[in-house]
Structure 1
Amino acid sequence: MSATLEEATVEERVDQITLTIENGVATVVIDRQHVLNAVDGTAHARLNGIWDQLEQDESVRAVVITGAGTRAFCVGADMSASAVDKTGLEYWAGLDPNGFGGLSLRTTLDVPVIAKVNGYALGGGMEIVLGADIVVAAETAKFGLTEPRVGRLALDGGIHQLVRRVPYTQAMGMLLTGRTADAAEMQAMGLVNEVVSAKELDAAVQRWVDQILACAPTSVRAVKQMVTQTSHLTATEARGLRLPALMAALDSEDSAEGVRAFQEKRRPEWPGR
């Protein structure tokens, strides 16, 4: 399923995961409130399918992912599901290359992802946050890679992503203790962009979405692709890489429209190509 910018709203709900596409913005909601939005195998497969779908839908310009209710964003793997009966080695052998929820290690989604953290983001839920580009959190949200406290490891992107996103000692302080941290502390570490009250969370996320939509779609896609595809290179090496989204942006109608709008002192009307 896909939607164009002209379509008002498209909604699809499968396996307790809701996907809504409205005016170029996709919203993904994990709605398993009976287990604090923990993800089982079926929900994980559904999330993976959503990201695959959104990769192919060029009408989507931003994605917001959140959890249903007020208590939890996502508390990771559903510990009540049969998957936890696997040994550690069996679990490691079956890891998804895209990471937890199909997102935490994904490098092929060229659309900005905003994590709207409304409550607990623990274990795999924290890994989903680490797979997002922008993080907006309610002041009551809690974050943590708590796997060591149940004899597990944050193998789906948590360990390797956290040490790349925040200072080493701050990352290790969480990884080696399995402790949780509140939104203000995570903002101080640099992982969270904005912390607001729970009642202001929707408005805060919308402000970020609006700022993304104010930019040329081709430029935004190019920026994200350049970042995700070149993190292993030096800045000089990265600059010389002729990535598809970069070349498309340089030769786009958006590029021409941006210049015209600036010269005519008006807001650009992005063709998106």
Structure 2
Amino acid sequence: MDQASIQYEAAGGIARLTIDQQAKMNAMTFDMWSSVPALIKRAEDDRSVRVIVLQGAGDKAFCAGADISQFGARRTGEDAVKAYDKAVAAGMAAVHDAAKPTVAVIRGICFGGGCALALTCDLRFATADSRFRVPAARLGLGYGFSNMRMMVNKLGIGPVADIMISARILDAADGQRLGVINRAWSREAFQAEVEAYLGTVAANAPLTLAAIKRSLIELSRPEAKQDPAAVDALIAKCFDSTDYKEGQKAFLEKRLPNFIGE
């Protein structure tokens, strides 16, 4: 696999985006951030994909954040800072607003922009030895308002204040208590538990998942900017679908449904 890239593969209803720069704990380069929107769209456009996974290559890190070695060339000067921040914001927004459910699968280090990227996902699962940190206050950089807003929407002001003001390292127990992750498992159990969960999601009705995901997106926005009509249209599509009939039939026949997304 090429280094300093995000790899894509899809199988069994699951699209996996793998952050790959293992020599730097999967730190994200400018080009990697820039590639995220197209990769998310690829997963959205693939009718076989039911759930999108973000994960890090190897077993040491999900993502250590931005590749700081690029900051001298890529994030110095007003224009360069704007271009870099625009690429990061677009990558974060693509994951947050993905039309399909997103899951961060975290092994090990999850720091800085990597932690923020994980938080854009709908769900976050981690190994029990994972560590989380947003060290902006130790680097002297200004942390973007859009990321702060996203984090507050996900976690609440109190947890975000703790995470950002202290810039401390959180263990998995802290991460679960503050809402940074949904579940943590031991390394030994992690792969099996995550794959079982992803398999459950991949077997669910795609149209229902799309309606739920759009509801989550709209609820994350200020009330004045929410579009409940868009959600209602997706809900109506569920009730008009072949899958709705299949779900009822499978329930009555006491078998697993076979959904086709129509």
TM-score > 0.5, shorter chain as reference: yes
Pairing 1:131–2:150 present: no
| Aligned AA (2:43) | L
Asked if the contact 2:155/2:178 (under 8 Å) is kept, the reply is yes
| Aligned AA (1:86) | T
Structure 1 residue 230, shift from structure 2 partner: 3.9
Cα separation, 2, equivalents of 1:247 and 1:127: 34
Cα distance change, pair 269–248 in 1 and its aligned pair in 2 (3 A): same
Asked if the contact 2:4/2:29 (under 8 Å) is kept, the reply is no
Cα distance change, pair 64–85 in 1 and its aligned pair in 2 (3 A): closer
Q: How does 1:117-128 map to 2 (within 5 A)?
A: 117-128=106-117
Q: How does 1:151-166 map to 2 (within 5 A)?
A: 151-155=140-144, 157-166=146-155
Asked if the contact 2:214/2:231 (under 8 Å) is kept, the reply is no
Pairing 1:61–2:61 present: no
More helix as a share of residues: 2
Tell me which residue corresponds to 1:206.
195
Cα distance change, pair 115–24 in 1 and its aligned pair in 2 (3 A): same
TM-score (structure 1 length as normaliser): 0.85
Cα separation, 1, equivalents of 2:79 and 2:112: 18
Comparing 83-92 and 48-57, the one that deviates more: 83-92
TM-score (structure 2 length as normaliser): 0.88
Tell me which residue corresponds to 1:8.
none
Asked if the contact 2:75/2:84 (under 8 Å) is kept, the reply is no
Please point out which of 96, 111, 135 is paired with 1:146. Answer: 135
Pairing 1:221–2:210 present: yes
Tell me which residue corresponds to 1:20.
9
| Aligned AA (1:214) | A
Pairing 1:99–2:74 present: no
Structure 1 residue 117, shift from structure 2 partner: 0.7
Cα distance change, pair 14–50 in 1 and its aligned pair in 2 (3 A): farther
SS at match of 2:247: helix
Cα separation, 1, equivalents of 2:238 and 2:79: 44
User: Unpaired segments of 5 or more residues in structure 2?
Assistant: none
Tell me which residue corresponds to 1:6.
none
Asked if the contact 1:145/1:175 (under 8 Å) is kept, the reply is yes
Tell me which residue corresponds to 2:176.
187
Structure 1 residue 241, shift from structure 2 partner: 4.8
Which string of whole-angstrom CA distances, capped at 9 and with x for unpartnered residues, describes residues 128-164 of structure 1? 1111111110111111211121111332853222222
Which string of whole-angstrom CA distances, capped at 9 and with x for unpartnered residues, describes residues 150-209 of structure 1? 111332853222222223222101111222211111111223111111232211211221
Which 4+ stretches in 1 moved above 4 angstroms?
Answer: 12-15, 82-85, 104-107, 237-244
Tell me which residue corresponds to 1:175.
164
Cα separation, 2, equivalents of 1:204 and 1:252: 31
Pairing 1:116–2:116 present: no
User: Matched residues, percent identical?
Assistant: 26
Please point out which of 246, 255, 260 is paired with 2:249. Answer: 260
Cα separation, 2, equivalents of 1:98 and 1:249: 34
Asked if the contact 1:104/1:132 (under 8 Å) is kept, the reply is no
Cα separation, 2, equivalents of 1:136 and 1:220: 19
Cα separation, 2, equivalents of 1:157 and 1:109: 17
Cα separation, 2, equivalents of 1:156 and 1:167: 15
Which string of whole-angstrom CA distances, capped at 9 and with x for unpartnered residues, describes residues 91-138 of structure 1? 2465337727x1356454111111011011111101111111111101
Asked if the contact 2:33/2:87 (under 8 Å) is kept, the reply is no
Q: CA RMSD in A?
A: 2.6
Asked if the contact 2:211/2:231 (under 8 Å) is kept, the reply is no
Structure 1 residue 52, shift from structure 2 partner: 2.1
Structure 1 residue 29, shift from structure 2 partner: 0.9
Asked if the contact 2:17/2:53 (under 8 Å) is kept, the reply is yes
Pairing 1:250–2:246 present: no
| Aligned AA (2:86) | D
Tell me which residue corresponds to 1:72.
61
Cα distance change, pair 63–256 in 1 and its aligned pair in 2 (3 A): same
